[in-house]
Amino acid sequence: MVTILDGKSVSEKRLELLKEAIGESGLYPRLATVIAGSDPASQMYVRMKHRACERVGIGSVGIEVPGDATTDKVLEAVSRLNRDPDINGILVQLPLPGRVDTERVIAAVDTGKDVDGFHPTSLGLLMSGRPRFAPCTPKGIMTLLAEYHIPVAGARAVVAGRSIDVGRPMAALLTNADATVTICHSKTRNLAAELRQADILVSATGKAHFITPEMVKPGAVVIDVGINQLNGKLVGDVDFEAVKEVASAITPVPGGVGPMTIATLMENTFAAAVMRTP
Ligand code: NDP
């Protein structure tokens, strides 16, 4: 019987625990989001993050920069938040409009407030095995694996995708947890054969129903990061109905990795507030 890795209910449990921890701490952590432009998906993600903040007792501030803003305007907003002692976490919602230099903006975030974990310093610490803030999606996946007692040490893990927000930090976290890790991407030769090696397969390609049963080792744990539209429906990278017949455990889309990402952002924001406390 396949286990459905229920990110929704695990994230609910984590948020409840976090709410208690924040209450007991006497702290009032605050998260600021920066959004540029009016991309509906980005607006929806930011709204969901603000709602989660409210639920656990984290204050939230939303900074909206016009879609035609320059890099300098976005940098100004980040710099104000860096200086604001009442703000513990800064999240710049990506993607930024094309004319904005995303790398400069990410590098401008105070590393002590980098709750998204995309700053080169945060990624460097993660790579060196001493993470401070790890990116929320892969860190949330590690939490989900731990909650279901899925052994990672010694497992062969294969990650499809090498972005800085998901694929690369996922590989680093799995390596730090003693998995043997392969990263695949669009230039990987014989991808199916690589993926079939995986005890833990993480797909973050952004290609709807890309992962089929032939690519999955029987009994593998399959983690689906993808959020894709297919015939007007939200689906993952994994052909869920077919792959659940061969996997031992699998995340659904929606209700798998997505809610874990948001819960982890809340946990990172509280951690940032604790770090700031003398
Ligand atoms: P990117 O587009 O930045 O990266 C996609 C990666 O997949 C690239 O490394 C690319 O390879 C690789 N890839 C694309 N096509 C293939 C292929 N045919 N074979 C092998 N590898 C391929 O996306 P993200 O990492 O940001 O996001 C991936 C997906 O996850 C998206 O659907 C996104 O919406 C979703 N997502 C979900 C989150 C959640 O909370 N659930 C959070 C973040 C993202 P190459 O580098 O060679 O181009």
Residue with the smallest CA separation from ligand 1 atom 3 is 163
Q: How far is the CA of 208 from the centre of ligand 1 (A)?
A: 11
d(C-alpha 276, C-alpha 113), whole Å: 9
Spell out which residues line ligand 1, taking CB within 6 angstroms.
137, 160-163, 165-167, 184-188, 191, 204-207, 225-228, 257-258, 261
Superfamily for domain range 26-116: Leucine Dehydrogenase, chain A, domain 1 (3.40.50.10860)
Residue with the smallest CA separation from ligand 1 atom 5 is 205
Q: How far is the CA of 125 from the centre of ligand 1 (A)?
A: 23
Domain ranges of the chain: 26-116, 136-258
% of the chain at pLDDT higher than 70: 100
Q: Is the model's pLDDT at 14 over the cut of 90?
A: yes
% of the chain at pLDDT higher than 90: 97
Residue with the smallest CA separation from ligand 1 atom 40 is 258
Q: Is the model's pLDDT at 278 over the cut of 80?
A: no
Q: What average pLDDT does the chain have?
A: 97
pLDDT in tens, 183-192: 999 999 999 9
- Whether 136-258 and 26-116 are alike in CATH topology: the answer is yes
d(C-alpha 271, C-alpha 114), whole Å: 11
pLDDT in tens, 130-171: 999 999 999 999 999 999 999 999 999 999 999 999 999 999
Known catalytic residue at 93: yes
pTM listed for this prediction: 0.98
Tokens of 164: 């800085």
Structure confidence at residue 67 (pLDDT): 85
Selecting among 49, 113, 139, 244, the annotated active-site residue is 49
Residue with the smallest CA separation from ligand 1 atom 35 is 226
pLDDT in tens, 35-67: 999 899 999 999 999 999 999 999 999 999 998
Structure confidence at residue 133 (pLDDT): 98
Query: Please, what is the Cα angle at 73 between 69 and 77, to 5 degrees?
Result: 125
| Residues near 151 by beta carbon (within 8 Å), at least 6 away in sequence | none
d(C-alpha 80, C-alpha 87), whole Å: 10
pLDDT in tens, 62-100: 999 998 999 999 999 999 999 999 999 999 999 999 999
Please state whether 123 falls in left (phi above 0), alpha (psi between -120 and 50) or beta: alpha
d(C-alpha 118, C-alpha 106), whole Å: 7
Selecting among 6, 110, 116, 199, the annotated active-site residue is 116
Structure confidence at residue 277 (pLDDT): 82
Known catalytic residue at 239: no
Instruction: Tell which atom from ligand 1 comes closest to the C-alpha of 237.
Output: 32
Name the residue type at position 116.
D
Please state which architecture CATH assigns to domain 136-258: 3-Layer(aba) Sandwich (3.40)
Instruction: List, as one string, the DSSP characters of 164-183.
Output: TTTHHHHHHHHHHTT-EEEE
Instruction: Tell which atom from ligand 1 comes closest to the C-alpha of 236.
Output: 32
Structure confidence at residue 65 (pLDDT): 95
Question: Quick one: DSSP state of residue 242?
Answer: H
pLDDT in tens, 108-118: 999 999 999 99
